[in-house]
Amino acid sequence: MLVVDDDPAVCRIIAKLLHRLGFTVMHAHCAAEALTLLDRASHVDLVLTDQIMPGMTGVELLDLVHLRWPTMPGVIMSGIASVPPQGFLQTLRKPFSANELSHCVSEVLSPRVR
């Protein structure tokens, strides 16, 4: 699983929560770093990304991810009111609880395997 957020503290907290849920987690602080990690990774089940980041939005990042890895799901984490709808991703509204994160990830990955 890959978490992308330009705020290092937010990225670490989300990664820690996901790790406690049993996931192997990588994290990146920008879209370019995320794409590099995805190129190098042997397997990534899911990309969770912040929407508002310098250089590239989360939707733009997941558009690129979807072009290169069409079966990889994505989740936009956002505190803004509207995120353009995309058929291959879901939105998780910030701030969210650990339970909301767990539910969203489980829903997106079902029936995928951790």
Q: Where are the domains of the chain?
A: 2-103
Q: What rounded mean pLDDT belongs to the chain? A: 88
What letters, b where the CB count within 10 A reaches 16 and e where it falls short, cover 72-86? bbbbbbbeeeebeee
Say what the pLDDT of residue 110 is. 84
The confidence band for 113, taking pLDDT boundaries of 50, 70 and 90, is: very low
The confidence band for 80, taking pLDDT boundaries of 50, 70 and 90, is: confident
Alpha helices in the chain (DSSP H): 8-20, 31-40, 58-68, 98-109
The confidence band for 79, taking pLDDT boundaries of 50, 70 and 90, is: confident
Fold of 2-103: Rossmann fold (3.40.50)
Rg (CA), the chain: 13
Question: Is the whole model's pTM more than 0.85, yes or no?
Answer: yes
d(CA 6, CA 14): 12
User: What's the pLDDT tens digit per position in 5-61?
Assistant: 999 999 999 999 999 999 999 999 999 999 999 999 988 999 999 998 999 999 999
